[in-house]
Structure 1
C-alpha cells in the first residue's frame, strides 16, 4: 500500500462520508471512491459498509484505520527527525530534543540534564516543555527524540522505556478547606467534593470532557484556580514542590501510583538518546 492510499482511507474512515473526505483531501469524490474500491479489491476485504443512510466501518476497516494511523504517524515522524537532523548538522543546532511535561518532574529533569552534560561527547539538549499528555504525542510524531512520560496517564505502547521512579498521589486543596488538615484522604472523598470539582483537562483532539470542573490547560492555571477555591486536583506526590502559599497537599491513599519513565522510539540509534537514558537511570 502507498501512503497516499492510506491517507485517502483514513480521511473516509474518519469522516464516514465520501463527500466530506474528498473536500478534506482537496480532490473530487469520484477518484476518491475509485481509489478506496481499488484498495478493497487488492486487500480482498470490505473496508466500508455503504448504504443509503451513510458509511460505516467494517471490522477489517477498523483494523486498517488503526494500523494506517500508526503507519502515517511513523512516516511523518521519520520526515521530521530527518529534517531536524539535517538542520542541526547545517547550523550546529540542538542535536537531541527531550520532551517533558511542564511543571512535572522538574527536579528529575534538572538532575538529568546536569548528569548528561557531564558525559564525554554530550551534545546540546533542546527541552520541549509540553502541556498535559502532549509529550507522548510529540515523541510519536517526531518533534522529540526522547521524553519523560508518566504511567498510567501516558501511553507508552510502541516505545522502549526505562522506569525511573514510582510515587503516590496527593490531593492539592486550598489550605483553608476542612479536608486540608486531614492526614490522608481517599479518591471518593476528593472526587465527591461539590465545592471543589476536579479540573477538566483537554483530550488529545483539544476538546474537553463534560463535567462541573473548570477547563484547565496547564498547572499554573490549575494552582491559581485551587488557590481561589474553584477546584482541587489529584497529582503525583512530586507536585508538592510546586505548592505556594494558600495551598495544601494531602496524600490520597487509594490513588494509583504514578511511574515516571524515560521513553524513546525502539529504532533509535542516536548516541545522544542513549546518553540521556544512561543519565536518567543514574539519577
Structure 2
C-alpha cells in the first residue's frame, strides 16, 4: 500500500462521504472512488459498505482505519525527526504535562545541563494525553508520561518513580476533615463534581464537572469550591491554604515514566534518559 492510498482511505473513513472526502483532499470524486476500489481489490476485502443513503465501515475497514492512522503518524514523525536532525543547532524536544512532575523536571534540566556535550532542551508543556501524542507524531524526542493515564506501548521507556494519589478538596469542605475518602464518595458529590479532561480529539466527555485543560486551572476551580480532583501526591507542593488533601487508598498509583521512540539513536536523548534514571 502507498501512503497516498492510506490518506485517501482515512479521509473517506472519517467523513463517510466521498464528496466531502474529495473536497478535503482537494481532488475530484471519481478518481478518489477508483482509488478506494483499487485498494479493496488489492487487499481482497471490502472496506466500505456503500448504499444510496450512507457509507459505513466494515470490520476490515475499521482495522485499516486504525492501522492507517498509526502508519501515517509514523511517516510524519520520520519527516519531522529527519529535519530536526539536520538543524544547524540540534536540540532535544521534551514534552511533559503542565503542572505535573514539576520538581522532577526542574532537577532533570539542571542535572542534564551539567553533562558533557549537553544540547539545548526545548520543553513543551501541554495538556493531559498530549505528551504521548507529540512523541508518537515526532513533534517531541522524549516525553514524561504517567501510567495508567498514558500508555508507553510502542515506545522504549524507563520508570522513574511511583506515587499514590490523593483527593484535593476546597478547604472547609465536610470531607476535608476525613482521614481517607473513596473514589465512589468523590464520584457521588453533587456539589463538588470531578473535572472533565479533554479527549485526544479535543472533545470533552459528558458530565456535570467543569471543563479543564491544565492543573493551574483545576486548582483555582477547587479553591473556589467548584470542583474536586484526584491527583498524584507530588502535587501537594502546588497547593495553597485554600486546598485540603485527603488520602485515597483505593485510587490507582501513578508511575512517572520517561519514554522515547525505540529507533532513536540520539546521544542527547540517551544522556537525558540516563540522567533521569539516575535522579
TM-score by length of 1: 0.96
Cα displacement (A) at 1:121: 1.5
Match of 1:219 among 215, 219, 223: 215
What residue is the counterpart of 2:149 in the other structure? 153
Deviations 1:239-260 (A, max 9, x none): 1111012111111110111111
What residue is the counterpart of 2:23 in the other structure? 23
Cα displacement (A) at 1:28: 1.3
User: What is the alpha-carbon distance in structure 1 between the residues aligned to residue 227 and residue 100 of structure 2?
Assistant: 19
1:248 aligns with 2:244: yes
User: What is the alpha-carbon distance in structure 1 between the residues aligned to residue 61 and residue 204 of structure 2?
Assistant: 28
User: What is the alpha-carbon distance in structure 1 between the residues aligned to residue 139 and residue 241 of structure 2?
Assistant: 36
User: What is the alpha-carbon distance in structure 1 between the residues aligned to residue 116 and residue 86 of structure 2?
Assistant: 23
Deviations 1:148-169 (A, max 9, x none): 0000101211111111111111
What residue is the counterpart of 1:57 in the other structure? 57
* 4+ long deviations beyond 3 Å: none
Cα displacement (A) at 1:197: 0.2
User: What is the alpha-carbon distance in structure 1 between the residues aligned to residue 255 and residue 194 of structure 2?
Assistant: 22
Map 1:168-207; keep pairs closer than 5 Å.
168-207=164-203
RMSD: 1.1
User: SS where residue 62 of structure 1 aligns?
Assistant: helix
1:106 aligns with 2:128: no
What residue is the counterpart of 1:33 in the other structure? 33
1:44 aligns with 2:58: no
What residue is the counterpart of 2:83 in the other structure? 83
Point out where structure 2 has 5 or more consecutive residues left out of the alignment: none
User: What is the alpha-carbon distance in structure 2 between the residues aligned to residue 209 and residue 58 of structure 1?
Assistant: 26
Cα displacement (A) at 1:101: 0.7
User: What is the alpha-carbon distance in structure 2 between the residues aligned to residue 59 and residue 280 of structure 1?
Assistant: 43
Cα displacement (A) at 1:49: 1.2
Cα displacement (A) at 1:52: 2.2
1:129 aligns with 2:125: yes
User: What is the alpha-carbon distance in structure 2 between the residues aligned to residue 217 and residue 117 of structure 1?
Assistant: 30
TM-score by length of 2: 0.97
User: What is the alpha-carbon distance in structure 1 between the residues aligned to residue 151 and residue 13 of structure 2?
Assistant: 23
User: What is the alpha-carbon distance in structure 2 between the residues aligned to residue 140 and residue 172 of structure 1?
Assistant: 32
User: What is the alpha-carbon distance in structure 2 between the residues aligned to residue 210 and residue 201 of structure 1?
Assistant: 10
User: SS where residue 259 of structure 2 aligns?
Assistant: strand
Point out where structure 1 has 5 or more consecutive residues left out of the alignment: none
Map 1:250-265; keep pairs closer than 5 Å.
250-265=246-261
Cα displacement (A) at 1:205: 0.8
User: What is the alpha-carbon distance in structure 1 between the residues aligned to residue 242 and residue 80 of structure 2?
Assistant: 44
Cα displacement (A) at 1:137: 0.8
